[in-house]
Chain A
Amino acid sequence: MQHLSIFPVLIPLLFGAIMLLPPISRNINYQRVASVIGTLFMLMSTATLLYKVNAEGVQLYALGGWQAPFGIALVADKVSSLMVLLTSFMSFAIMLYAVSGQDKGGAYFHPLFMFQIMGINGAFLTGDIFNLFVFFEVLLIASYALLIHAGGKHKTQATLHYVILNLVGSSLFLFGLGILYGTLGTLNMADMAVKVGQLQGETATLAKTGALLLLVVFGLKAAMLPMHFWLPKTYASASAPVAALFAIMTKVGVYSIFRVYTVIFGEHAGELANIATPWLWPLALLTITIGSIGVFASPGIKTLSANLVIVSSGSLLACAAINSEEATSAALYYMVHSTLASAALFLLADVMSRQRGKAEDRFVRSRPFAQPRLLGFAFAILALALVGMPPLSGFVGKIMILQATQSTTQTMWVWPLILLGSLAALVTFSRAGTTLFWRHSGNATAEAEPAKKLEIAGIALLLLASPLLVLFGGDVSEYTQQAARYLHDIQASAYGLLPGVAQ
């Protein structure tokens, strides 16, 4: 199966395209079946890909047979195959949730969902930086349309901000790419990593400008301060399956930061070595701080989970700033945990708000839930995971991040902020749980809509990941350590991908 690396891009593309054609496009039930089958296929192919990469090493796929650095290459290494598996698992669970009625708000939900997954998978797999831009645009244009799915004033306003910001971001991305191509003469990431060490003087300064412009763009995607203002409103107003899928979008930004500033502008970049680190430090710490303040101030669960996404982005950026193997390994583990947990919280918030009538997801006194035990249990598990309490995966992830700090100064800055962020989440979750489950006015009415079986299955699948990440914690962390070692080893992550180039 030499074509396995491209399956995560091809499967959603084909299914998305087929769903636009009659007779499937006319019947929502056909579309639902096709979507579930499509995401299931993707899950199987990405799991096989991960198994193969783990057994045989990096899979290099030259599109059209044009060899790197001239053609576009897809690179399935341990990092990217983990990320595509995460995307497929998450999209399968979200699709189970969406097919039970959340997809009816507007036309073309299913094809757009598929195209967005295609963009996300492509952005993870590509080894060419211009191709990364193209896949960013694919996932963005699908996300614009998905965000406004089901309509409404709030969505229109949030989408307008989101679209304008991301269009400016795309322009900056292209400016950065133009500068880098002008100075380095290549767009293949491995080739860039090899050539960047030779830059000197004015050319190096120019390349530095381009590289930092890219940091702005990735920071915008990753909700890094001060480019995080769009996130809470956007995520809180999106419909539940869309918001849950968006949980991985900030991770695409963080992943790009890891890939570009570890492999290309890492230790071996000569004059440009570690250029992002001085910027990432203060911004990551401020992002955690502002996210924690946002967590305290959240009036409802959706805003709360959006702010938790900002906190987790900040923690991941702090790992990128520490810039060591242990930190990258911790970041990969934490990325898997936080993506799945925040996606589950977005879905759960939707189920809850549908049972509470006008109070929706706000922390106010309201009528009791129709299914208090089920929802309470799910909420408690999620709260434990997201706060970072033992025995769930949030605890392991946060411990790994805390252990990755290297000097006393780093420990002095990172430990208090991450722990205070957890405290903020703990306080808010306790307050939210108390109000939502124990303070009631009136009685449960018949109009409250109980969660459907598939919805529960989707949320349960995401919830199950958290204890599994702990049970198989040894294997997972060993895998992330190997992935991090690969990313920090320029011999493997750059020279190894270019046949015929010696160090």
Chain B
Amino acid sequence: MEGLYAFCVGLLTACGIFLALRGRSFSVVIGLTLLSYAVNLFLFASGRLKLNAAAVLGQSEQYSDPLPQALVLTAIVIGFAMTAFVVILAMRARADLGNDHVDGTLPKLPNDTQQKTGGNQ
């Protein structure tokens, strides 16, 4: 179970970092969202993974650590608010700056002929 869990967190983190490094604000926002999912799963696992262990004393033989669950809850709320903010900000930047690149200007590619020819739609 631990191996699969670790693999999932790792995959989510890798995808998140890759997307966060892209140039367009949309993929960056998706990347940040994936990263926050990975973080939430990771925090949850910091109290160790246990089966059949409720976070309540006296309910089962073993009990799991309740604190990471509280931490995850806080992290989810904060992450959700931040994602909402960054989505609105990205839309505002698209409107203000005229394109959706995070730098506000589209980089010119060396073999970019679109601008001269007007592009073929």
Contact = CB atoms under 8 A, between A and B. Distances in A.
Interface of A: 130, 134, 137, 141, 144, 148, 153, 156-157, 159-161, 163-164, 167-168, 170-171, 174-175, 177-179, 181-182, 187
A153 B97 contact: yes
B86 interface: yes
A182 B46 contact: yes
A178 B78 contact: no
Contact of A164 (B16, B38, B75, B102): B102
8 contacts: A144-B85, A157-B97, A163-B86, A164-B86, A170-B79, A174-B75, A181-B43, A181-B71
A148 B93 CA distance: 11
A178 B46 contact: yes
A146 to B, nearest CB: 13
A179 B35 CA distance: 16
Contact of A160 (B46, B82, B89): B89
B81 to A, nearest CB: 7
Contacts of B71: 130, 177-178, 181
Contacts of A157: 93, 96-97, 103-104
B22 to A, nearest CB: 11
Give the top 10 A-B pairs by smallest Cβ distance, nearest first: A182-B46, A178-B46, A157-B104, A156-B96, A174-B39, A178-B43, A171-B35, A181-B46, A137-B78, A160-B93
A164 B42 contact: no
Contact of A171 (B25, B36, B74): B36
A310 to B, nearest CB: 21
Contact of A141 (B39, B48, B85): B85
B75 A141 contact: no
Interface of B: 16, 20, 25, 28, 32, 35-36, 38-39, 42-43, 45-48, 67-68, 71, 74-75, 78-79, 81-82, 85-86, 89-90, 92-93, 96-97, 102-104
A168 B86 CA distance: 12
A179 B43 CA distance: 8
A167 B89 CA distance: 13
B43 A164 contact: no
Given A156-B96, A175-B39, A175-B42, A181 B85 contact: no
Given A130-B71, A160-B25, A164-B28, A178 B90 contact: no
B26 to A, nearest CB: 12
B92 A156 contact: yes
Contact of A156 (B20, B42, B93): B93
Given A144-B85, A153-B97, A174-B75, A168 B35 contact: yes
A325 B103 CA distance: 43
Contacts of B28: 164
B40 to A, nearest CB: 8
Contact of B42 (A134, A163, A170, A178): A178
Contact of B82 (A167, A177, A179, A181): A167
A130 B16 CA distance: 23
A159 B96 CA distance: 12
Contact of A134 (B35, B78, B79): B78
Contacts of A177: 43, 71
Contact of A174 (B32, B42, B93): B42
A156 B94 CA distance: 10
A141 B25 contact: no
Contacts of B20: 164, 168
A148 B36 CA distance: 24
A181 B67 contact: yes
Contacts of A168: 20, 32, 35
A194 to B, nearest CB: 18
A481 to B, nearest CB: 37
A187 B74 CA distance: 14
A266 B90 CA distance: 41
A137 B46 CA distance: 21
A144 B97 CA distance: 18
Contacts of B90: 160
Given A134-B78, A137-B82, A144 B39 contact: no
A186 B76 CA distance: 20
A294 to B, nearest CB: 19
A130 B73 CA distance: 12
Nearest to B83: A167
A156 B103 CA distance: 10
Contacts of B36: 167, 171
Nearest to A131: B74
Contacts of A141: 81-82, 85
Contacts of A144: 85, 89
B35 A163 contact: no
Contacts of B45: 178, 182
A267 B20 CA distance: 37
A170 B78 contact: yes
Given A153-B97, A156-B92, A157-B104, A170 B46 contact: no
A157 B101 CA distance: 10
Contacts of B67: 181, 187
Given A134-B74, A164-B20, A159 B89 contact: yes
B39 A167 contact: no
A67 B90 CA distance: 43
A171 B97 contact: no
A157 B97 CA distance: 8
B74 to A, nearest CB: 7
A179 B82 CA distance: 23
Nearest to A157: B104
Contacts of B82: 137, 141, 163, 167, 170
A148 B39 CA distance: 28
